[in-house]
């Protein structure tokens, strides 16, 4: 959530930044400032009313003691009028505050200066590319055929039990899934991330805190009876563990990691590009989250990007890193790097990770602050990244490492899987 003080001081700069997202925010920003002026005006009037009422309350007793009954009764009548006025002003203040809040939360984060204006994925900027594209044999198959042939994933059984987008992992497919989770967690903890197993459902305050609510795209699974939401990523519970907290400056950066299943409705996702593991309603992911001092957050972002790149190097997967354009970034992000791996059998890039800096946008919603050396509180910067999302990693591993007789497992996973190859 954008800070009101920043909107007061830098309205034009904010409007120019949001233009990179193809958003004309000028009218909304003007409405915010108008609502803010009304709110402040009402607050001053309310404060003056309460001050006068308190002053009269002290005077009434003294007037009675001095025998000035008529003046005392007049003061009591004035106090009663001020009480009514105070309630009216308080109601008006709440309305003004809510209007201002609704307007502010409707605006996304302002992009970092390095973000280019754009509307679609083709406008993203390729930052780097690593690894060689594998040369597959003539009868190479996409992962949805390999998983059936080698009894690794049963998509139809998932449809029977739940519905499309909820696969059942079987035999070595299940073991590969578990191996990847453990490998990613071990790499993360060895890099200084503290491991958690958070809840897989969150309340409304948590959904708002990290920016998933209001859910404009209707992508979250909502349990209406309990008003709980299935998490779309571990970022939500991990970051919300620090909601309404003031952390010590010496504790920063705070680095967290967790494995969770993730749940996304993926409304409106259809076609050949969502086949097999390419897009699911339930999938496994290992996440990293960092809380940082503002002046260090982009250094932390670079460290996270390099960490994710190291995982992909270990898995021998060719990948590229994209800096997302304004129109392709998430609502809360100031700067996002996407990692895509090359799927040799599908001959296309598959996104497997997003690493983002949200600057103060989430922290302002969360009221997440730290106390600096001057004992003043400041908003933290929050960051997160996938390290990694499993479905498309599994798809690329199976497709890129296949030969005519089986599928080779990357060496770094051998001690986790207990096998080096998957064969018929």
Packing angle, helices 11-19 and 26-65, rounded to 10 = 140
Q: Has 354 been labeled as part of a binding site?
A: yes
> Pairing between strand 246-248 and 369-371?
parallel
Q: What are 233's two structure tokens?
A: 């990523």
Q: Which helix (H) or strand (E) holds 369?
A: strand 369-371
Cα dihedral 184→187→192→197 (10° resolution)? 30
Can you point out the beta strands (E) in 43-185?
125-130, 153-154, 168-169
Q: Report the half-sphere exposure of 125 (CA within 13 A, side-chain side).
A: 12
For 25, 131, 203, 206, 285, the CA distances from 228, given in Å and listed in that order, are: 32, 42, 5, 10, 20
401: Cα separation from own chain's centroid: 32
Cα separation, 252 vs 290, whole angstroms: 9
Q: Has 101 been labeled as part of a binding site?
A: no
Q: Has 351 been labeled as part of a binding site?
A: yes
Q: What are 267's two structure tokens?
A: 């409304």
Cα separation, 366 vs 360, whole angstroms: 10
Q: Has 295 been labeled as part of a binding site?
A: no
> Pairing between strand 222-223 and 228-230?
antiparallel
Q: Has 269 been labeled as part of a binding site?
A: no
Asked whether the beta carbons of 192 and 251 are under 8 A apart, the reply is: no
> Pairing between strand 125-130 and 335-343?
unpaired
Q: Which helix (H) or strand (E) holds 28?
A: helix 26-65
Cα separation, 343 vs 277, whole angstroms: 12
What letter does residue 338 receive in the DSSP assignment?
E
Q: Has 287 been labeled as part of a binding site?
A: yes
Q: Has 264 been labeled as part of a binding site?
A: yes
Using alpha carbons, select from 344, 296, 338, 300 the residue that is nearest to residue 318: 344
Q: Which helix (H) or strand (E) holds 11?
A: helix 11-19
Give Dmax over CA atoms of the chain in angstroms. Answer: 108
Handedness of CA 358, 359, 365, 366 (dihedral sign): positive
Q: Has 9 been labeled as part of a binding site?
A: no
For 247, 276, 361, the CA distances from 329, given in Å and listed in that order, are: 29, 25, 14
Asked whether the beta carbons of 33 and 8 are under 8 A apart, the reply is: yes
Feature table: binding site: 233, 264-266, 287, 351-354, 384
Feature table: binding site for ATP: 264-266, 351-354
Feature table: binding site for L-serine: 233, 264, 287, 384
């Amino acid at each position: 959530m954008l800070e009101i003080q920043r909107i007061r001081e830098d309205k034009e700069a904010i409007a120019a930044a949001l233009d990179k997202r193809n958003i004309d925010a000028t009218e909304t920003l003007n409405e915010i400032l108008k609502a803010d002026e009304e709110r402040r005006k009402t607050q001053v009037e309310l404060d003056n009313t309460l001050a006068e009422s308190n002053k009269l309350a002290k005077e009434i007793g003294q007037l009675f003691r001095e025998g000035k009954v008529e003046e005392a009764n007049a003061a009591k009548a004035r106090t009663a009028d001020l009480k009514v006025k105070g309630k009216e002003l308080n109601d008006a203040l709440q309305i003004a505050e809510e209007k201002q809040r609704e307007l502010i939360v409707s605006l996304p984060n302002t992009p970092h200066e390095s973000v280019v204006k754009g509307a679609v994925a083709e406008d993203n900027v390729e930052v780097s590319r690593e690894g060689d594209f594998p040369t597959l044999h003539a009868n190479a198959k996409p992962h949805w055929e390999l998983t059936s042939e080698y009894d690794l994933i049963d998509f139809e059984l998932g449809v029977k039990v739940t519905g499309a987008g909820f696969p059942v992992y079987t035999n070595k497919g299940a073991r590969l899934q578990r191996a990847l989770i453990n490998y990613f967690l071990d790499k993360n903890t060895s890099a200084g991330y503290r491991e958690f197993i958070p809840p897989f459902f969150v309340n409304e305050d948590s959904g708002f805190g990290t920016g998933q609510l209001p859910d404009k795209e209707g992508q979250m699974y909502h349990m209406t009876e309990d008003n709980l939401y299935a998490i779309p990523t571990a970022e939500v519970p991990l970051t919300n563990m620090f909601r309404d907290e003031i952390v010590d400056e010496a504790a920063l950066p705070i680095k967290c990691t967790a494995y969770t299943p993730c749940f996304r409705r993926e409304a409106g996702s259809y076609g050949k590009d969502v086949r097999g593991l390419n897009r699911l309603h339930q999938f496994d992911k290992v996440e990293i989250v960092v809380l940082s001092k503002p002046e260090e957050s982009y250094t932390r972002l670079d460290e996270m990007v390099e960490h994710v790149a190291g995982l992909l190097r270990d898995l021998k997967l060719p990948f590229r890193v994209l800096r997302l354009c304004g129109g392709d970034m998430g609502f809360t992000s100031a700067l996002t790097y996407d990692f895509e791996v090359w799927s040799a059998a599908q001959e296309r890039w598959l996104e497997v990770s997003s690493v983002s800096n949200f600057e103060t946008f989430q922290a302002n919603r969360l009221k997440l602050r730290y106390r600096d050396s001057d004992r003043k509180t400041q908003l933290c910067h929050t960051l997160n990244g996938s390290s990694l999302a499993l479905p498309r990693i599994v798809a690329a591993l199976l497709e890129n490492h296949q030969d005519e007789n089986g599928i080779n497992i990357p060496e770094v996973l051998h001690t986790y899987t207990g096998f080096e190859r998957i064969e018929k």
